[in-house]
Amino acid sequence: MRFLMKKLGLVVKRKRRFVLTTDSKYSCPIAPNILDRQFSPGRPNQVWATDITYIWTLQGWLYLAVVIDLCSRRLIGWSMDKRMKQSLAIRALLMAINLRNPPEGLIHHSDT
């Protein structure tokens, strides 16, 4: 079979492996959604949003955690790592805190 495929110039396209990125079976209580889809605050450092994604790089798949100020829509904190652990999100949040020194009452929103 391999000989015939090579002779005809055929190659097998392998199916990509599914990557599990979220563990939805956690026992911690879910915080109330006080933001309630109000994604346009009136001033900076009132609402920050956080998300995690994975991206392909020359080093392979890496996870990227970001913190965005919803008023300015600016990226104010980020972190990348080969593994998705708590420390990934914490490093991004600490970067944002060190950059902005947010006031008391800041809302930090995440879908996860």
In this predicted model, which residue has the larger pLDDT, 1 or 57?
Answer: 57
DSSP letter string, 20-79: --------SPPPP-SSTT----SSTTSEEEEEEEEEEETTEEEEEEEEEETTTTEEEEEE
Quick one: what percent of the chain has pLDDT higher than 90? 38
Record the pTM.
0.69
Please give the CATH topology (third level) of the domain spanning 42-112.
Nucleotidyltransferase; domain 5 (3.30.420)
Domain boundaries, the chain: 42-112
* Model confidence pLDDT, tens digit, residues 29-44: 777 777 766 667 778 8
